[in-house]
Amino acid sequence: MFLSCIKISENPEFYQIKLTDKTVVGLSPDSLQIEKIKEEFGEDDFYTVADDVMWYNAKMLETIDSLNIKYIHTNNRLMDYKSERKN
C-alpha cells in the first residue's frame, strides 16, 4: 500500500495518495520531531506516552482489519489525497 504514494511533479514537496476504497492513512512523527518531543517533555514521559500510543495503534489496526478497511502508513508530511468515487 505504501507504493500508492507518488510525487507530484509540480511541487516536489507533495506526495499524492490515490484512495479507491475506504482507507485509513496513518502518520508518525519523523526522527527530528521525536527528538523535539523528548526535549520538551523528557525521555521518561516520552516513552510512557509512546507505549500508550503503540497500544492504541494496535487496537486501531485490529479494528480496521476486522472491518476490511485498508491502511496506509506514510512519513510524508505534505500529501494530496485523491479519491475515485465508486457508484
48-86 pLDDT, tens digit per residue, is 999 999 999 999 999 999 999 989 887 776 776 667 666
20 contacts 81 by C-beta, under 8 angstroms:
no
Give the predicted TM-score (pTM) of the model: 0.64
Count other C-beta atoms under 10 Å from residue 39's C-beta: 10
70-74 and 23-27 as β-strands: parallel, antiparallel, unpaired?
A: parallel
Which residues partner with 80 through β-bridges? 16
CA distance 61 to 68: 10
End-to-end CA separation in angstroms for the chain: 23
pLDDT tens, position by position, 10-63 = 555 667 777 778 888 888 888 898 999 999 999 999 999 999 999 999 999 999
